[in-house]
Chains A and B, each alone.
Chain A
Amino acid sequence: MIEIAIHKKLKAATGEMLLDINTTIEQGSLVTLYGKSGVGKTTILRILSGLLKPEKGKIIVNGTTWLDTEKGINLKPQKRKVGFVFQDYALFPNMTVKENLQYALNKGENSKIVDNLIQIIELDELQNRKPETLSGGQKQRVALARALVQKPSILMLDEPLSALDSEIRFKLQQYIIKVHKEFKLTTILISHDVSEIIRMSDTLFEIEHGKIIRRGKPNEVFKYKELNAKFQFTGDLIEIEKQDFLYILTIRIGKDLVKVVADESEGKMLTVGDKILVASKAFNPVIHKIS
């Protein structure tokens, strides 16, 4: 169990913002932080990993106090057992893939875990290459492997998949789920992608203006469970066209554009840019606004 209570003033684009998070995270769960850019998601991860100090706060991880500003406790990032996958991967260009992983070992530690990770994350063929020669997805895998060498109690991923195309994305989601289970990790992930969140996470925190505004299972938060659909997709609403008393919605789902008919009440509720769930029961698609 991870108990988090943090207060920090942030300078956001919209002026000063108070980051005020007070929550718990179950051991072994996969949590997603969801929200617009600049609401403090990355800051939360940086505070958890010790890279940033909040003005006031307390972080207790499985009974160990990492941070308690009242008692003056603030463990350095080196002493906290966290794995962090950075948005820009932060692979060290002067080392090969294998050396990047070995760098994370403690002095004199057995390097078995490195070989083990190279196998699990299928880096065999890449292990002697320098990071600059790798593609985005490959770099991502190396960064993931490197973050696991220290056997962290929390794995944090800062928008790990946002820069990748949908195919590689899907594969990497599988890797993350795989290591999450295999290493019995508590994983915290930042993501904007609704389908990714629904596929991967147990718990969702929606963050707005430095505060958690909704939390729960992704399907509860996005409120689509009651639809009981046969198949469903999420996408972005690109265009609304009014034709007589019907509305025609153009929705981007993955790489495809889909046109769906909506009735007047649905059409009036929606605006371009909304995230939308399209589900189908038998023949008529059902649409539902998620955010």
Chain B
Amino acid sequence: MIDWSPLILTFKLAVITTFLLLLISIPLAYWLAYTKLKIKPIIETLVSMPLVLPPTVIGFYLLIAFSPSNSFGEWLHEFLGLQLVFSFEGLIIASIIYSLPFMVHPIQSGLSNLPASFLDASSVLGKSNLNTLFKVLLPNIKPSLLTGIVLAFAHTIGEFGVVLMIGGNIPGKTKVASIAIYDEVEALNYATANTYSLILFALSFCILLTVYLINGGYLKQIYK
């Protein structure tokens, strides 16, 4: 029987990360979609960096930043009681940064593709921008929201380098599935590694398939 705890941990990490990412990405994507400030390209670049950087680079800098031996890490530890290196909380923060573009990009492009007149029309009808966002804009970009949620979720499940750098390999705390696979291969337990891999493979396939089915309108056709 395999040890299920890495899979459960992975799942827990992905759910929490995705939820927090959604809260962060909606305002960020809204700002990016509508701002006219000149600083926009810089923020866009920062958001997109995790797409091109090796995960180990992000992991390395987070490790340095969160380390209690430097002032920011010390401040976190003393005032917030947070120890972010080699802990589950640290993994969540690292995952949020690492998966940020996967959530922000679909939402931002969804918003930019809506006719500009939606926001104008809603303002002229006397509605605040916040009201417009929740009643008009977000309901009309549901496919983009779904894409963002699923990509962020799937990407968090698949991450390896960042987790290894900042989380280490502590069973039940930071040993997620992808690391467990690496571990088992190192120990020449190919059978167990295969089980983990197969589960991740099947899970990722099902998640992505669901997105394409829903966003492609296939499900609607079946129900009709």
List residues of chain A with CB under 8 Å of any chain B CB.
Answer: 46, 49-51, 76-80, 82-84, 86-88, 90, 92-94, 103-104, 106, 146-147, 149-150
Bound complex: CA A280 to CA B140 (Å): 54
Bound complex: CA A76 to CA B128 (Å): 10
Taking a contact as CB atoms under 8 Å apart, the answer to whether B115 and A88 are in contact is yes
User: Which of B117, B127, B128, B135 is A90 in contact with, Cβ under 8 Å?
Assistant: B117
Taking a contact as CB atoms under 8 Å apart, the answer to whether B115 and A78 are in contact is no
Contacts A78-B123, A86-B120, A150-B126; A94 near B139 (Cβ below 8 A):
yes
Bound complex: CA A149 to CA B124 (Å): 11
Extra 9 A-B pairs, beta carbons < 8 Å, given A84-B121, A84-B124, A106-B126: A50-B124, A51-B124, A80-B124, A90-B115, A92-B118, A94-B139, A94-B140, A103-B127, A149-B125
**Chain A interface, >50% SS class:** loop
Could you say which interface size class chain B belongs to? 10 to 19
| Least Cβ–Cβ distance between A9 and chain B, in angstroms | 16
User: Which of A77, A78, A86 is B117 in contact with, Cβ under 8 Å?
Assistant: A86
Taking a contact as CB atoms under 8 Å apart, the answer to whether A94 and B136 are in contact is yes
User: Which of B120, B127, B139, B140: most chain A CB closer than 10 A?
Assistant: B120
Taking a contact as CB atoms under 8 Å apart, the answer to whether B120 and A90 are in contact is yes
Q: Which chain A residue lies CB-closest to B141?
A: A94
Taking a contact as CB atoms under 8 Å apart, the answer to whether A51 and B125 are in contact is no
Taking a contact as CB atoms under 8 Å apart, the answer to whether B128 and A78 are in contact is yes
Bound complex: CA A175 to CA B85 (Å): 68
**Chain B interface, >50% SS class:** helix
Taking a contact as CB atoms under 8 Å apart, the answer to whether B118 and A104 are in contact is no
Taking a contact as CB atoms under 8 Å apart, the answer to whether B136 and A77 are in contact is no
Query: Which chain A residues border B127 with CB–CB below 8 Å?
Result: 78, 103
28 contacts between A and B (CB under 8 A): A46-B120, A50-B124, A51-B123, A51-B124, A77-B120, A78-B127, A78-B128, A79-B126, A80-B124, A83-B124, A84-B121, A86-B121, A88-B115, A90-B115, A90-B117, A90-B118, A90-B121, A92-B121, A94-B139, A94-B140, A103-B122, A103-B127, A103-B135, A103-B136, A104-B125, A104-B126, A147-B124, A150-B126
| Least Cβ–Cβ distance between A260 and chain B, in angstroms | 41
Query: Which chain A residues border B121 with CB–CB below 8 Å?
Result: 84, 86, 90, 92
Bound complex: CA A49 to CA B125 (Å): 10
Query: Which chain B residues border A106 with CB–CB below 8 Å?
Result: 126
Taking a contact as CB atoms under 8 Å apart, the answer to whether A92 and B136 are in contact is yes
Taking a contact as CB atoms under 8 Å apart, the answer to whether A88 and B117 are in contact is yes
Query: Which chain B residues border A94 with CB–CB below 8 Å?
Result: 136, 139-140
| Least Cβ–Cβ distance between A94 and chain B, in angstroms | 4
One digit per residue, 1 when the CB lies within 8 angstroms of any chain A CB and 0 when it does not, for chain B 130-145 equals 0000011001100000
Query: Which chain B residues border A150 with CB–CB below 8 Å?
Result: 125-126
Taking a contact as CB atoms under 8 Å apart, the answer to whether A82 and B139 are in contact is no
| Least Cβ–Cβ distance between A156 and chain B, in angstroms | 9
Query: Which chain B residues border A77 with CB–CB below 8 Å?
Result: 120, 123-124
Bound complex: CA A51 to CA B123 (Å): 8
| Least Cβ–Cβ distance between A258 and chain B, in angstroms | 38
Query: Which chain B residues border A90 with CB–CB below 8 Å?
Result: 115, 117-118, 120-121
Bound complex: CA A86 to CA B117 (Å): 7
Query: Which chain B residues border A80 with CB–CB below 8 Å?
Result: 124
Bound complex: CA A88 to CA B117 (Å): 8
